[in-house]
Amino acid sequence: MNTKRKWKPILTALLVLFCVVYVAPSFMSKGVFPKEMKKLNYGLDLQGGLELRYTVDYKRALSDTTWKAADLLRDKIVLQHLDKLDDPNSLSPEERAKYLKLIKRERVDYKTARITVEGELLKVLEKVDDDFIQTRVDNQYMKGASSDSSIELTLKYEEAQRLKQAIVDQTMKIIRKRVDSFGLVEPIVREAGDADIDVQLPGVDDSKMGVVRAMIGQTAQLMFRLLELKGNPMANVGNDLTAYKKLNEGKGISIELLSSNQNGVAQNYLKAQRKSELLKFLRYVGTQREGRGEPPLVDDDHMVGFQELTSRDDNNKERNEGWRTQFIIRNMRVGVGTSEERSVTIGGDRISKPSVLTDGQTGEPYVLIVFDSRGGKDFGDLTTENVKQYLAIMLDNDVMSAPIIQEPITGGSCRVTLGSGSNAQRIQEAQNLLKVLKYGAYKAPVHKVHDHKVGASLGQDSIDKGKTALLLGSLLVVMFMIFYYRVSGAIAIFALSLNVLFIMAILVSFNAALTLPGIAGIVLTIGMAVDANVIIFERIREELRAGKSVRAAVDTGYARAFWTIFDANITTALAGYILLLYTTGPIYGFAVTLLAGIICSMFTSIVVTRMVFNWLIQGRKLQTLSI
C-alpha cells in the first residue's frame, strides 16, 4: 500500500509536467518552442474564419442506383423470355435491341422505378417476384406495386437508409480530405441534421477562402465518354430557339444554332457566351417539349455536355470564345456483337495515381492519369474499338477536351491538358484538379446551404470578454474557498488549477478549437469541481464534529461523498454527450469543453486533493485540520 501511495504522487507530478510542456507553446512567444509543437486553436467566434453548410442530394444518387437496377431488370426479363438466364452472354445485340423496345422504364420516386412491358413479354411478368429480383437483379430491391403490364422495382427501406448514411459519410470524408490538403488549422467537418454537412474553418484568411469554396463545391466526377455522331438532336431546337429569343428580347441572349462537320458527319450544336445561358435554354426546351407531348430532347443513353471554346491572341495567350454543346454517349458498351459484350463506365474511381507534370516541349502543365487494372482494361478496350472517334474527357457535364482517338491506348494511362488562362493559372488549376482526383469524387451532388464569414475584429472582442469572464469567475471562486475553508480551500484551488491545465492539454492534444461557449464550459466545470470539494469538505467537517480523528474523518468523508459526486457528474455528462451528438457550431464547442472538464474535475477533486491530504496527515503528522 505504501509503495502504491508513493507512486501516485510521482505519476501525477509527471502528468502535470507533461501537460505544462504540452500547453506552454500556446501561451509563449514565437521562437521559444519548436514551431512543430501543437498549439491551442481558437474557434470561429474567437479568431474569425469561414463557416459553410452543404446538403447532400442522396436522393439523386439513390435514384441513379435504382435506374441502373431497372436497366438490369430489363435485360433479365428478356433473358427469361428467351430462356437464357443461365447463359446471359448468348444474348445477341439484335435480340437485345428487338426486345428492349417492348420494355419502358420510368421513375416513380428516388427509390422506385416502374417497368412496363408489352407484346409477347407480358407473360414473363408472372415470374418476376421478390425471389427473381433478389437473385437475378440485386438483393437490395424488392417487388413493389404491379399490374398485368407493369411492375415496380423498389429499394428496401433499410437499404435506402444504409446507402444514404454511407453516401453522407463518404461525402464528409472527402470534404475533410480536401480541406486538410490545404494544411488549414483544425477544420471542423461534421454531420448536421438529416443530410447536411457543417464545415468550420477557423483562421482562414481572405486569400484562401475563394479557393476553399471552389474545392469543396467542385464535384469533379471525371468521366471518359464518346461523342455521339449518329444522332443530331440539336437540329430540332430551331423553332424553340426563335421563340426563346423573342420571349427574352432585350436581355442580350447570345445563343446561336450552328453546324459543324465531324468525321464527315454534319452536326448541329448550340453556342453562347456563357454556359448558364445554354443550361437555361435547354431547361426551357425540356418544358416546351413536355407541354407538347413530345419525348425528351435527349434519351437516357445520351447526355448533353458543355465545352469551353478558346483561341489564342497575338501573344499566344488563350482567351475564352464562349461555350458550345456536345452530344455525348452516356452508356457505352464494348464487345458489341460478341459473347463479351458489356457496358463500361470509366470514371475517377478507376484512377490510382494522378500527378501533375510539365510537357518537356511546350512547358505547359498537364495531369497524368494512371488507371487501376480494371480501368486500364476498359479504357484500352474502348479506345481499341473506337479509333478515329472523338473521346470526351469530362468533369461533371463539362467537356475538358475531345481529342480524336488516333490509336488504341492500352498502356493504362492518359493525360488531361488544361484550358485557358496564364501558365500560372493552369498550374493552379492542375493542382486543384489533382487534389479532387486524389481525394475522390462525391457519390451524390452537393449543394451549398449557407456561406458565412466571421470577422476577426469580432473574434478579438470575444476573446477579451471571454478571458475577463474566466479570470473574474476564477478569482471569485478562489476568494470564497480560501475564506471559508482556509488551508483545505487552498488545496482545492491547487486542484482547480490542475483541472484547467488538463482541459487545455486535452484540447491541444485532440487539435480541438476553443470557442467562446467553450470558455463558458470551462467556467462551469470550475464551479462543478469546487462543488465536489465543498461536498467532501462538509462531510469531513461532520466526521470531525462526531469526534473522529483527522485520518478517519478524511477517509470517511471521501468515501461517503464519492457516489454523490459521481452521480452528479454522470447526469451532467449525459447532457453534454447529447449536445455533442446533436448540435453544431458554438454549442458543440461548449459540449466538448464540458465533457473534458467533467473528466478532469473528477480526477483533480477526488484523486489529487486526496493525495495532498494523505501527504499532510502522514508526512506532517497532523492532529488538527484547517477546514
Q: pLDDT of 355-380, one tens digit each?
A: 888 887 878 888 888 888 888 888 88
**Where, residue-wise, is CATH 3.30.1360.200 in the chain?**
220-441
- Please say if the pLDDT value at position 415 is more than 70: yes
Question: Per CATH, which fold does 220-441 belong to?
Answer: Gyrase A; domain 2 (3.30.1360)
Q: If DSSP codes are grouped into helix, strand and coil, which group holds residue 414?
A: strand
Please tell me what DSSP assigns to residue 371: B
Please tell me what DSSP assigns to residue 298: S
- Confidence band, pLDDT 50/70/90 cuts, at residue 432: low
Interatomic CA distance for residues 188 and 590, integer angstroms? 14
- Please say if the pLDDT value at position 130 is more than 70: yes
- Please say if the pLDDT value at position 207 is more than 80: no
What superfamily does domain 2-46+455-619 belong to in CATH?
A: Multidrug efflux transporter AcrB transmembrane domain (1.20.1640.10)
CA atoms within 13 A on the CB side of 148: 2
**Where, residue-wise, is CATH 1.20.1640.10 in the chain?**
2-46+455-619
Instruction: Name residue, grid cell 415496380.
Output: 152
- When the pLDDT of each residue in the chain is averaged and rounded to a whole number, the result is 82
Write out pLDDT tens, residues 512-550.
778 778 888 888 888 888 889 899 999 999 988 888 888
Sequence-ordered alpha helix ranges (H) in 138-205: 157-180
Query: What is the H or E stretch that residue 516 is in?
Result: helix 516-545
C-alpha cell at 493: 484551488
- Please say if the pLDDT value at position 420 is more than 60: no
Write out pLDDT tens, residues 313-361.
666 666 778 999 999 998 788 877 666 667 777 877 777 777 888 887 8
626 close to 537: Cβ distance less than 8 angstroms: no
Query: What is the H or E stretch that residue 578 is in?
Result: helix 550-582
pTM flag (> 0.75): no
